[in-house]
Structure 1
Amino acid sequence: MTKAEMIKKIEELNEYEEMIEELKTEADTIRDSIKAEMLEREAEELQAGQYIVRWTSVLSNRFDTTSFKKVYGALYKAFTKQSASRRFSISC
C-alpha cells in the first residue's frame, strides 16, 4: 500500500468513525426520549406493537480491587498476572 493509499484509508476511517459517533448520539437521544416516556408513565415495561420495552433497575456486586490492594497488598500481588495485548491508534 502506498503512502497516498494509506492516507486515504485513514481519512476514510476517520469519516466513518465520525458518522458512527453522530449515529450513536442520535440513538442515545431516541433512547432517552423513550426512557422519559417510561418515567412519565411510571412503567418499567411498555408494549408498543410488536415491541416490549423494559427499563429496569439492576443490582450488582463488584469486587473493590483498590481497597483490597490497600489492605492486602501482598496477596493482591500474588494473584495478579500480567497480560499482553496490542492497541491500534492513529494520531495527527
Structure 2
Amino acid sequence: MSSIEIVSKIEALKELEALAAEAAAEIDALKDTIKKEMDNRGVEELEAGQYIARFTTVVSNRLDTTALKRENSAIYQRYIK
C-alpha cells in the first residue's frame, strides 16, 4: 500500500470516527429527551405506537476495594486474582 493510500485510509477513518461521535451525541440527546418525558409522566415504561420504551432506576452495590485494602490488607490479598 502506498503512502497516498494510507493517508486516504486514515482520512476516511477520521471522517467515520467523527460521524460516529456525532451519531452517538444525537443518540444520547434523543435518549435524554425520552427519559425526561417519561420522568415528567412519572413512568418507567412508555408505549408509543409499536414501541415500548423502558428506563428503570438501577441500584448497584459495589465493593470499595480501596477502603478494604487500606483497612484489612490481609483479607484483600487473600481474595484478589
Find the residue that maps to 2:18 and give its secondary structure.
helix
Q: Distance in 1 between matches of 2:4 and 2:79?
A: 48
1:5-84 residue pairs with structure 2 within 5 A?
5-73=5-73, 76-77=76-77, 80=80
Q: Distance in 2 between matches of 1:36 and 1:45?
A: 12
Identity between Structure 1 and Structure 2 (%): 47
Q: Distance in 2 between matches of 1:10 and 1:79?
A: 45
Please report the TM-score for the alignment, with normalisation by the length of structure 2.
0.82
Change (3 A) 1:2 1:52: same
Find the residue that maps to 1:52 and give its secondary structure.
strand
Shift of 1:61: 1.6
How many residue pairs were aligned? 81
Stretches of structure 2 lacking an aligned partner (at least 5 in a row): none
Find the residue that maps to 1:21 and give its secondary structure.
helix
Cα distance per residue 1:9-48 (max 9 Å; x no partner): 1111111000001011111111111111111111111111
Stretches of structure 1 lacking an aligned partner (at least 5 in a row): 82-92
Cα distance per residue 1:39-74 (max 9 Å; x no partner): 111111111112111111111121212112222345
Please report the TM-score for the alignment, with normalisation by the length of structure 1.
0.73
Change (3 A) 1:50 1:72: same
